[in-house]
Amino acid sequence: MNFNTLKKRIKKLFLKIIKKILKLLHSIISKNLINEYLTKIEYIEFFMERKDYKTSFISFHSDTEWILEKLNKDGYCKIKNFWSEDECINGMKSIDDLIRDFPEYVRSENKSDQRVYGAEKISRNINDFSKNKLLISVAKNYNRKETKLGFTLAAKMPAKKHNKGSGEGWHRDAFFRQFKTLLYLSDVSKDNGPFELILNSQNYQNLIEDMREANLGHKQFRLTESQINKILINEPQRKKTILGKMGTLILVDTSTLHRGSPIKNGIRYALTNYYYTLNQIDDALYKKFNVIPFVKIK
């Protein structure tokens, strides 16, 4: 064992001990202060194991580097015309076919949208999107850890009364880093359920400040509208609403606070690639999302 490996193991052990002590002191010291210290330790742990990852850009895509710069700066990147109009029309037809032909895999319990996970196993054009080499390259380099596609979500969201939007309100998918790509297959205006996020809410400093402003709990994944308003009260410009024509691609760190805005008119069609580090992928993940288990590409 070399010195650097030993040093890393000692540091990990030290952080674990500190976390246990903090949890024991929870009833004595301010709860908010404990939550901040725990978050800081978990942030250090998370990026410590990614520190030595060797960045590798795929040779035929100069786009990887500037996309990563934008992701690191803002937490998202928007690319227009990633798919053509014809590709989007075919994509929407594929989603309608999936919902009709595989009702047992349609998830609609959130009352806002109809979702099919594992759509890349059935539709050839969705499969092409799932295998896009640029997106996989960005995912690996942004996560700074070996990463692959978990599955592709095909989603259809019609306007319904009292819907909360895709994702059922403001939330994070994870803490510190989680990468997805969202492709609008239909035009998305402010009334069609656009993707929204709180700028830089994935960054450590903002994460801590937002916890203070809205009195958030340790690793609180879902937030109320009232809590979001407290975060935005002095910085309303941090709320970003991402509109786009069909074919618009959004690459995003979904450890940001985000949501699909409640849809008021029309139907929003979209594809989302879910990327995971290798240690995150197991049978429980596929069971959780009721992912289509077989391949039957048309």
Question: 286: burial class by Cβ within 10 Å (0-12, 13-18, 19+)?
Answer: middle
User: Cβ distance 201 to 256 under 8 Å?
Assistant: yes
- List residues bridging with 197 in a β-sheet: 240, 258
User: Cβ distance 182 to 195 under 8 Å?
Assistant: yes
pLDDT tens by residue, 10-43: 666 656 666 666 666 665 565 677 777 777 878 7
Give pLDDT, residue 1. Answer: 57
pLDDT tens by residue, 70-108: 998 899 999 999 999 999 999 999 999 999 999 999 987
Give pLDDT, residue 19. Answer: 64
Give pLDDT, residue 59. Answer: 44
The two tokens of residue 216 are 């958030």
Q: What is the Cα–Cα distance from 248 to 262, expressed in whole angstroms? A: 19
User: Cβ distance 282 to 213 under 8 Å?
Assistant: no
Domain extents in the chain: 1-52, 64-289
pLDDT below 70 — which residues of the chain? 1-31, 52-62, 109-112, 298
- Correct CATH for 64-289 of 2.60.120.620, 3.20.20.140, 3.40.50.800, 3.30.70.3270: 2.60.120.620
Give pLDDT, residue 9. Answer: 67
C-alpha triplet 222, 227, 233: angle, nearest 5°: 140
CB count in 10 Å sphere of residue 133: 11
Q: What is the Cα–Cα distance from 287 to 298, expressed in whole angstroms? A: 24
Residue where the block lists tokens 């994870």: 174
Please tell me the pTM assigned to this model. Answer: 0.84
